[in-house]
Structure 1
Amino acid sequence: MKRYLTLLVTLFFVGYSYAQQDLVQYVNTLQGSHNTSDFSHGRCSPLVGLPQGANFWSPNGFSIINKTVRGAGGGGFSLTPLVSRADLQEGNFSSGFDPDQVVGSPHYFKVATENGVTTEMTTTERCGYFKFTFPRSKEAFLLYGGGGKTDICINPEKQRITGFVTNQSWHSQARYKTYFIMQFNQPFVAYGTTQNQSKVILDQKQMDSGNGVGAYLKFKNGASVEVVTSISKISAEQAQVTLDREVGSKRFNEIKEQSYTVWNDLLNKILVEGGTEEQRKTFYSCMFRANLRPGKEYEVDKEGNPHYFYGGKIYDGKYHSNPILWDAYRSLFALQNIINTEGEKEYVQSLMKTKELSGWWPSGHVMIGNHAISVLADAWAKGIRTFDPETALKYYYHEITHSVLDSINNSAYNIDHERGYGRMGFENYFSQGYIPYPQNTNRVMETTSKTIEYNYDDFCAYKLAQMTGNKYYEDLFAKHIFNYKNVFDPSDDFFKGRDVEGNFDIDFNPYEWGGAFVEGNGWQWRFAVQQDAQGMMDLMGGEKEFIENLDELFSVRSDSVLHGGYGYWIHEINEAVAGGQGQYAQGNEPCFHNIYLYNHAGQPWKGQKLLRESLTKLYNSGPKGFPGDEDGGAMSSWYVFSAMGFYTVTPGVAQYSLGSPLFNKITITLESGKKFTIVADDNSADNVYIKSATLNGNSYSKNWITHDDIMNGGELHFEMSSKPNKQRGTGDQDKPYSLSKHN
């Protein structure tokens, strides 16, 4: 009997491993790493880390353009391999490499440099594991460098370096220490501390302190040096606890395989079939980027209890970091609500803690808007209810009726653009219904963009109040949910700057970037009201006029742009022009939903074609893989959604707008064990149009599906064609949510 049971268990695990595919092989972490100040293909680094990990590790000084790298590190420190004392003394830290020979996977990075050193990295959730293999005929040095004021101790007997770096919080301005441990597997032949990028070398010195302080270690010639590092914002003792728990006696390859398994499990949550190999590489490379944030900012003590550091103090519990919400609210959190429900339950609690501890929600001082409420409303709409909605609404009311100019972080820029905490310009927004933009100015003040985005956030607060039966806040925010109409000029159907007397900008040019708009022009912001497509149609005179204007967005000349108040072509302008889709800018977040608006106007086939064009022409798995800044998972999440054939146009509403699936079959495995499958028969590069559809076997004409449709499991089945079906999806009932229509 025992023999049969053993055989049964063995077959079960063999069957399971066979069913799960190796999807890590498709990920290229170098995607989006080819960037200049004038053009962004993602502005990404080839990171190694676990999904929503606490720390990420990367090659330092890595340039795919110059083909140079200077070492590896993360958490505020770096390790640079050198092959001579002269390199150390003369500051010859960078070395060339062949990009074609780089291995960039989620769990493992490897680069061989021209000085003969091979650098490898793998990771646990909080610890980094590095391996440096030196050429046999050369010396072997490692140079440690950290940021801020460093206190360091070299312990040759224990083959380790310990210490801490003192930094200052960008948010609270509180000083804090990051404690570190670096454990080496090889004895030190020589050692010493360094100062000012090795301009001062103090041989045999074991302890040092100060700005620019580092250390060097020398090993035997040709050594293969393994380094495990652990960092903590709580204490040196906690750094050791983390090292013992996550690494212990495990060696490099064990940690590497462990990390691989974590990533492969996650990637298998969405299994795509069909398409080209390059499309699968692009999809899973984007899946990697879409699952790096929000990171785990907490540490686990000896007893298994979580703690986190914030604003100079240590608190009990879990805490997750905040991505820039201006980007992430549109796509990243909506994707996590599907594939990482348990993680999102923790994250919304972290958003509430951020407000409690700092007095503000994140993002407003970095970009514009009060988008924490969007994340919370979307979570509630989709069944994630681990926060108190009345408290959230109270917090939001405080957020939008107070403001503080951010003069500390990126101060000159933020002062000039009037960015800060809370709601900048709230007095005018509530008294006049918009934020005024003065006449005869070339200044980038972003007032119309702020009005539109503040209005969307008020809509989300209104929806959260409505969903939770809070009549007081529902009525309060109902007064402002159509404020976007106050900056719309019916004379030419554009949103514009408007002065305090109510006059629209007399110098308005829809091709001119900046001014009353953030990172865009009048064309891109013409369709920015994501929650109310019907309301925009009404303003423009109806569905016919709306479609004509939307068609025009994609057909006018791409290169007819003016830099306006920016004073030069910012990189977002260059990326929009290079996209070649009229004035549409797929490379920046405000346009993410624009193509899907054809679903609201009864011509879904136009969106299907444009979406497929964007997916196939603007994205790839290589260093030039994105049409603009990837922005912490926002752009990758848009790609993952759109490649599956649907997208969240209006976070805060439990609904997704349909597009054109890139693959023949997509299977989403949910945390409940249920599966939602999208099948696209006769799908191809030419067959981009939806001919017909069924949902769970029933004929389906709608241009949208609900969150419950996905989470309950089932099948969405498309028949694809090379010719548009202009009868499908044209009825009023087929159109997705619009505030003016479904309020």
Structure 2
Amino acid sequence: MFSVDQIDTRTGTASTYEFSHGNTLPLTGVPFGMNYLSVQTTQADTPWWFDPHQTAFAGLRITHQPSPWIGDYQHVLFTPLSGDGFAETPLLTYDPKAATFAPHLLHLTEQGQQIAMTATAGLTGGAIRLHSLTGTTLRLRITSPKSAYVNTENNVITLTTSNFSGSEDPDFTMWLTLTVPEGQPLPTVEAAGTDATDLVFTTATAEVRFATSFLSAQQGKLNLSRLAQFSFDDLVAVHREAWQTHFDQIEVSDHHADRENLFYANFYRALLFPMRFYEEDAKGAPQHYDTTSKTVRPGKLFTNIGFWDTYKSSFPLYTLLMPAQYHDFLEGCLNSFKETGFLPRWLSPDERGMMPGTMVDAVIADAAVKGQAQDLMPQFLEAMIHGAETISHDPKYGREGLAEYLELGYVPAEIHESVNKTLDYAYSDWLISVVATSLGKTEIAAKYAKRSENWRNVFDPSVKLMHSKDKAGHFTPGFDDLAWGNGFTEGGAWQSSFAVYEDLPGLIEATGGKDAFVENLHKMVNQPAVYHVGSYGGTIHEMRELAAQPFGQLAISNQPSFHLPYLFAIASDSHSTELVVKQLLLHAFSTAPEGYPGDEDNGSMASWVLWSGLGFYPVTPGSGKYVLGVPFFDHVAIHLPNGNTLTLTTPNNHDALNFVGERTLNGKPLNGPFISHAALEAGGEMRTTLQLLG
């Protein structure tokens, strides 16, 4: 059984503005927590505040940052200091190789002052333990931009912080409450400069409990009180078990060194987002802060999630492994709709309006087609139709360019990212038809199924790729299949032209049939990995990441390309899918700080690794089907929430064997490119033998 203690959370953290190996952070907490703890290795005001190779550190940080491109909010820094303190907070020193970065535990030693610092975090709070190795007294400096010390009452210290990259509420606040365990002397509270407060201890060993709340100081104290029954070691054990319970749901064994670790390191990443944005009152009822109305409301809410990134990989994983949690996520989406008037696109903490499309539609339809959250579907159908028909005057909400889409059947080139928006809207129209069908609304289903054919309006048969079209109905001149932008999002024609998830048979036919389609795919992966900056006007990090991988224009470094390797199989060329997926798994991913080929993005790329390693992938969320690939592990046992177990066995799993020879399900041949969600839920054994030649 794989232990959570084997995970090092620094996978993918060696990233910069110029090049991403994941743009991840080493986060410690519990799955889908409200806060995470991390190590901050710089004093600079930057969203790239952790460097895995840096020996300097500023302290431990409470963070809510989902991505450096989004930024953090309500972040707080805990810095360990000797009892005499410092007028200015120093940049401290630690040995990264000797530190522990685990999902449930952080431990490091500040070398200059010889202070050991250990921390753990749960849903709304956690604990920090300090120990002076030289016997000196201690202090813990708490620093946060735009923070204020409130008071000390009944041994509970309360501070507020109000720093964030963006929010509908300009006064959005977090309450931080702190105390020490019973029997430990209460520290003295001293002002330590602007936005900094010191907790001064009289001992060489000290422990601080902390909790946060987005609702009130009183709720913060309630959250803190829930930690009182646990010792520090008990808290560590509870938080460890929260991860281990999920890890035990999938048992992976493999004879290759570090391959099990690759799976669980990515499983850890897949369980971090979305983050919880609700708290339980004294009776256990969920309540959350609505930044739109600036009031506390009942119900669940989640945040720090971009649906454009995650709808195609991580959310389908949750439907298989944790449908009850998935229902909670959907409740949060519905509450977001009720409070803003639109379904969410990119939340942190509220709507940021990033990326095209309303891809939460896929999260909803995928539940509908799998028979989940049926109680919510009538309200969701209303919300989805509202988003498809209502023009928002705030570009953060709804579909940008909707008026033109409704009039022309496509978003014209005069509007930014026009091709991707057209394709996303057409897919969302089909997703509306899926939900409508599940509710027996045949007329609505027919209307939006017909409208989903709008992808054809931006398909250019002369180049067999998508091409931006102006308001007059003409394809824009000077088409360049290697140019980025020009109607496309974070890519060009090769990366985005195959985003017709709802009608891949139609796309194959429009390309000239299966042979022509496969030829186009081979052209994509076998040409040089070069790019032209196009309308971006300069090189962005995604361009560099494309060029760094020897897979032509595939660009597995970004979400639009996740399904591309599986399109060969849909067009009856399964061996090419197997070859590309196997080579990607072998060469593009690892558990190192440089472990991802591009932005990991809220569990999305990690989930691609999980799905692809299991041997199938959800190309079209909302269809209830998966496309078969190639298994990467010797043996996997998935313990499903319905009580069934799905066992995946690959007896001759060797790196040199790239192709599937035979695949059976419960002893019967499994032919064709697809397997249904129902078949996976039924459990049993999928047995795959590999072969050398395709």
Q: 1:641 to 1:297 in 2, by over 3 A?
A: same
Question: In the aligned structure 1, how far is the partner of 2:221 from the partner of 2:108?
Answer: 29
Aligned to 2:233: 253
Structure-2 separation of matches of 1:171 and 1:188 = 35
TM-score, length-normalised on structure 2? 0.92
Q: Could you tell me which residue of structure 2 aligns to residue 686 of structure 1?
A: 656
Residue equivalent to 1:611: 581
Alignment-mate amino acid for residue 170 of structure 1: G
In the alignment, what sits opposite 2:357? 369
1:359 equivalent to 2:341? Answer yes
1:191 deviates by: 4.1
1:306 & 1:338 partners in 2: Cα distance? 25
Q: Confirm whether residue 142 of structure 1 aligns to residue 130 of structure 2.
A: no
1:181 maps onto 2:177 in alignment: yes
Is contact 1:29–1:285 with CA below 8 Å preserved after alignment?
yes
Give the gaps of 5 or more residues in structure 1. 1-20, 197-212, 407-418, 439-443, 725-743
Is 1:172–2:179 an aligned residue pair?
no
Show the counterpart of 1:400.
388
Secondary structure at 1:657's aligned position in 2? strand
Question: 1:175/1:472 Cα in 2 relative to 1: closer, same or farther (>3 Å)?
Answer: farther
Counterpart selection for 1:557 from 516, 520, 528: 528
1:645 corresponding residue in structure 2:
615
Aligned equivalents of 1:718 and 1:601: distance in 2? 21
Q: Which amino acid aligns with 1:127?
A: G
Q: For the residues of structure 1 that align with 2:391 and 2:40, how far apart are their CA atoms?
A: 38
Mapped contact 1:446–1:514 kept (Cα < 8 A): yes
Q: What does residue range 201-280 of structure 1 map to in structure 2 within 5 Å? A: 213-220=195-202, 223-245=204-226, 247-280=227-260
Cα separation, 1, equivalents of 2:690 and 2:473: 49
Aligned to 1:121: 119
Once the two structures are superposed, what CA deviation does each residue of 1:553-576 show, in whole Å capped at 9, x if it has no partner?
111101x21122222211111111
Between the two proteins, what is the percent identity of the paired residues?
28
| TM-score, scaled to structure 1 | 0.86
Partner SS for 1:671: coil
The code of the aligned residue for 2:214 comes to: K
Query: What CA deviation, in whole Å up to 9, does each residue of 1:236-289 have, x standing for no partner?
Result: 2222222222x2132211111121122111101111111423221111011001
Rounded Cα–Cα distance in structure 2 between residues aligned with 1:167 and 1:624: 30
Deviations along 1:61-114, one digit per CA (max 9) or x if unpaired, are 43224332211131532211123757x22332x223322222111111112233
For the structure 1 residues 168 and 73, does the alpha-carbon distance in structure 2 shift closer, same or farther, using more than 3 Å as the test? closer
Which residues in structure 2 correspond to 1:251-650 (within 5 Å)?
251-311=231-291, 312-321=294-303, 323-363=305-345, 365-404=353-392, 420-438=396-414, 445-558=416-529, 560-650=530-620
| Distance verdict in 2 for CA 1:340–1:702, change over 3 Å | same
Q: In the aligned structure 1, how far is the partner of 2:102 from the partner of 2:576?
A: 37
Residue deviations 1:13-42 (CA, integer Å, cap 9, x gap): xxxxxxxx2431332211111111111111
Change (3 A) 1:265 1:277: farther
Contact 1:401 1:422 in 2 (8 A): no
* Structure 2 counterpart of 1:673, from 626, 643, 648: 643
Aligned to 1:78: 77
Rounded to whole Å, the distance in 2 between the matches of 1:303 and 1:480 is: 47
The answer on whether the counterparts of 1:23 and 1:284 sit within 8 Å (CA) in structure 2 is: no
Per-residue Cα deviation, 1:619-640 (whole angstroms, up to 9, x for no partner)? 1111111111111111111111
* 1:658-737 correspondence to structure 2 within 5 Å: 658-724=628-694
Check conservation: 2:662, 2:690, Cα contact below 8 A.
Answer: yes
Q: CA deviation at 1:51?
A: 1.3
Quickly say closer, same or farther: Cα 1:51–1:90, change in 2 above 3 A.
Answer: closer
Contact in 1 for aligned 2:368/2:434 (Cα 8 Å): no
Provide Cα deviations, 1:423-474, integer angstroms capped at 9, x if missing partner: 1111111211111114xxxxx9211111111111111111211232112321
1:637 aligned counterpart, secondary structure? helix
Do structure 1's residue 102 and structure 2's residue 84 form an aligned pair? no
Q: Distance between the aligned counterparts of 2:482 and 2:22, measured in 1?
A: 24
**1:463-486 CA-partner distances (Å, limit 9, x unpaired):** 211232112321221231111111
| In structure 2, distance between residues paired with 1:449 and 1:657 | 23
Structure 1 counterpart of 2:131, from 130, 133, 140: 133
Are the aligned partners of 1:497 and 1:516 in contact in 2 as well (CA < 8 Å)? yes
1:9 aligns with: none
Alpha-carbon separation, structure 2, partners of 1:514 and 1:229: 46
Matching residue's letter, 1:397: I
Contact 1:390-1:470 at 8 Å conserved across structures:
no
Q: CA deviation at 1:226?
A: 1.2
SS in 1 for 2:671: coil
1:397 Cα deviation after fit: 1.9
- On the 8 A contact 2:147/2:159 being kept in 1, the answer is no
SS of the equivalent of 1:399 reads helix
CA deviations on 1:158-197 (whole Å, 9 max, x unpaired) are 3x5213234579343353332221113554675421333x
Structure showing greater radius of gyration is: 1
Change (3 A) 1:97 1:567: farther
**What letter is aligned with 2:669?**
S
Q: Which amino acid aligns with 2:507?
A: M
Unaligned regions of 5+ residues in structure 2, if any? 42-49, 63-73, 347-352
Aligned mates of 1:126, 1:617 — CA distance in 2: 38
Q: Report the secondary structure of 2:501's partner residue.
A: coil
The equivalent residue for 1:90 is: 88
Name the structure 1 match of 2:30: 50
Deviations 1:397-421 (A, max 9, x none): 2212334465xxxxxxxxxxxx531
**Alignment root-mean-square deviation, CA:** 2.0
In structure 2, what residue type is equivalent to 1:363? Answer: R
Q: Distance in 2 between matches of 1:612 and 1:154?
A: 58
Separation in 2 of the partners of 1:454 and 1:334? 20
Paired residues of 1:437 and 1:499 also in contact (CA < 8 A): yes
Distance 1:22 1:682, change over 3 A: closer
The whole-number CA distance in structure 1 between the counterparts of 2:540 and 2:397 is 25
Is the CA contact 1:361–1:422 (under 8 Å) kept in the aligned structure 2? yes
Are the equivalent residues in 2 in contact too, given 1:172–1:358 (CA < 8 A)? no
Instruction: State the partner residue of 1:416.
Output: none
What letter is aligned with 1:82?
L
Matches within 5 A, 1:27-46: 27-46=7-26
Distance in 2 (CA, whole Å) between partners of 1:151 and 1:224 is 24
Which position in structure 2 is the counterpart of 1:13? none
Change (3 A) 1:71 1:550: same
> 1:667: Cα distance to partner?
0.8
Q: Using the alignment, how far apart are the partners of 1:369 and 1:520 within structure 2?
A: 16
Q: Which moved more, 1:270-279 or 1:57-66?
A: 57-66
8 Å Cα contact 2:388/2:429 also seen in 1: no
- Work out whether residues 393 and 473 of structure 1, in 8 Å CA contact, stay in contact via their aligned partners in 2: no
Q: Summarize the Cα distance change of 1:83–1:515 in structure 2 as closer, same or farther, 3 Å threshold.
A: farther
